[in-house]
């Protein structure tokens, strides 16, 4: 435990259960002394999120469906009744119809394309429009992306296109909000077994491939992501904005892994 986040207040969006990447990030921020608020997607998730929030000493647990702009407005209205300021925001939200997270990208429907972009990309921008009003200098926002934004990964399809747009939106918001001392970054996490990931075709194979081919020869955990999030959200990251930090056991640097037998 440390005091990196002492006196800082943060909103965590995208907690579904104790496998969620948002949970790894929330835990590392709380251990470092942050005070937290949580948003949850729908009534079904409230009973999961409230006890997890309580474990980290938080009783600010607010509904927000990011597909509904009124719901995002309501979240920030409620949050401002609890807090007069906000030091950090974590956006760990993504969604696409799982029938399109398999097969060919080229077969993506217009409806699912727009829905995926709305929930996985625009929502971060919509949240920052509102969060900005509560944030002062030395504050930070973080979203979650994946390597499928940069290179073609099996089955990632429309979500890869959405993550590329999300990473671009991080850069544009870094510029817009940087003048007010608000930093905006992304973590590109390696594959982790979560609820959202279970919708992706052949996910077990992707996990195994990363384990065998990444420089660290393992998959990352939500704690690995949490520790790097702490760097970007705390004053340790004070000079960093517009960045996508890979927390993927180094997978993104490998063009081809060497075979173990050197004289093949
Ligand atoms: P998760 O299922 O635990 O979290 C996804 C969250 O998105 C859930 O809490 C869900 O309620 C929320 N969400 C979906 N639609 C929403 C809506 N309309 N309104 C509000 N919330 C909504 O899975 P996760 O893997 O922890 O996902 C978090 C983020 O990390 C996502 O952006 C995901 O794309 C990204 N990511 C995941 C992996 C991985 O392998 N798990 C790798 C890289 C990036």
CATH number of the domain within which 64 lies: 3.40.50.720
Residue 257 within any structural domain of the chain? no
pLDDT at residue number 1: 72
Burial of 12 by CB count in 10 Å (0-12 exposed, 13-18 middle, 19+ buried)? buried
> 247, 237, 187: which is closest to 87 by C-alpha?
237
CA distances from 115 to 95, 123, 128, 142, 150 (A): 8, 11, 19, 21, 21
- The answer for 261, left when phi > 0, alpha when psi is -120 to 50, beta otherwise, is beta
**19 and 36 Cβ atoms separated by less than 8 Å:** no
Q: For residues 52 and 58, give the distance between their C-alpha atoms in angstroms, rounded to a whole number.
A: 9
- Ligand 1 mean position to 258 CA, how many Å? 33
The whole-angstrom distance between residue 183's C-alpha and the CA centroid of its chain comes to 15
pLDDT at residue number 113: 98
pLDDT at residue number 259: 76
Binding residues: 14, 20-21, 41, 65-66, 93, 163, 192-196
The whole-angstrom distance between residue 49's C-alpha and the CA centroid of its chain comes to 17
Q: Is 137 helix (H, G, I), strand (E, B) or coil?
A: strand
Residue 3 within any structural domain of the chain? no
Residue 256 within any structural domain of the chain? no
pLDDT at residue number 258: 79
Range of the domain at 210: 9-250
pLDDT at residue number 144: 99
Q: Structure tokens of 4?
A: 């990196």
Q: For residues 113 and 30, give the distance between their C-alpha atoms in angstroms, rounded to a whole number.
A: 36
Number of separate domains in the chain: 1
Burial of 251 by CB count in 10 Å (0-12 exposed, 13-18 middle, 19+ buried)? buried
Residue 140 forms beta bridges with which residues? 88, 183
Q: For residues 72 and 245, give the distance between their C-alpha atoms in angstroms, rounded to a whole number.
A: 27
For the four alpha carbons of 59, 63, 69 and 74, in that order, the dihedral sign comes to negative
Q: For residues 40 and 31, give the distance between their C-alpha atoms in angstroms, rounded to a whole number.
A: 21
pLDDT at residue number 262: 66
146 classed as catalytic: yes
- The answer for 33, left when phi > 0, alpha when psi is -120 to 50, beta otherwise, is left
Residue 182 within any structural domain of the chain? yes
Which of 146, 205, 231, 251 does the annotation list as catalytic? 146
- Ligand 1 mean position to 21 CA, how many Å? 8
- Ligand 1 mean position to 53 CA, how many Å? 17
Note if the pTM is more than 0.95: yes
Helices (H), the chain: 21-31, 43-55, 69-82, 110-117, 123-131, 157-178, 203-213, 222-233
**97 and 115 Cβ atoms separated by less than 8 Å:** yes
pLDDT at residue number 257: 83
Residue 260 within any structural domain of the chain? no
Q: What is the pLDDT along the chain (264 residues), one digit of tens a residue?
A: 789 999 999 999 999 999 999 999 999 999 999 999 999 999 999 999 999 999 999 999 999 999 999 999 999 999 999 999 999 999 999 999 999 999 999 999 999 999 999 999 999 999 999 999 999 999 999 999 999 999 999 999 999 999 999 999 999 999 999 999 999 999 999 999 999 999 888 999 999 999 999 999 999 999 999 999 999 999 999 999 999 999 999 999 999 987 766 666
What is the DSSP code (8-state) at residue 260? S
Q: For residues 149 and 168, give the distance between their C-alpha atoms in angstroms, rounded to a whole number.
A: 10
Q: Is 160 in the pocket of ligand 1 (CB under 6 A)?
A: no
């Amino acid at each position: 435990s440390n005091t990196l986040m002492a006196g800082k207040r943060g909103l965590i969006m995208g907690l579904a259960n104790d496998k969620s990447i948002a949970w790894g990030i929330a835990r590392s921020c709380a251990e470092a002394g942050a005070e937290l608020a949580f948003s949850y997607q729908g009534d079904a998730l409230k009973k999961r999120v409230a006890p997890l929030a309580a474990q980290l000493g938080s009783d600010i647990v607010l509904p927000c469906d990011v597909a509904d702009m009124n719901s995002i407005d309501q979240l920030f209205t409620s949050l401002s009744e609890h807090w007069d300021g906000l030091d950090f925001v974590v956006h760990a939200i993504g969604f696409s119809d799982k029938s399109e997270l398999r097969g060919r990208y080229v077969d993506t429907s217009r409806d699912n394309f727009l829905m995926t972009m709305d929930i996985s990309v625009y929502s971060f921008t919509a949240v920052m429009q509102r969060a900005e009003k509560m944030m002062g200098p030395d504050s930070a926002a973080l979203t979650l992306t994946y390597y499928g934004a940069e290179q073609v990964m099996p089955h990632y399809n429309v979500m890869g296109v959405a993550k590329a747009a999300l990473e671009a939106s991080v850069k544009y918001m870094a510029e817009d909000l940087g003048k007010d001392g608000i930093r905006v970054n992304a973590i590109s996490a390696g594959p982790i077994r979560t609820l959202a990931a279970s919708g992706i075709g052949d996910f077990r194979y992707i996990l195994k491939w990363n384990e065998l081919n990444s420089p660290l020869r393992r998959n990352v955990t939500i704690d690995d992501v949490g520790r790097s999030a702490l760097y970007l959200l705390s004053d340790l990251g004070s000079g960093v904005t517009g960045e996508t930090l890979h927390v993927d056991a180094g997978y993104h640097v490998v063009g081809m892994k060497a075979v173990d037998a050197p004289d093949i």
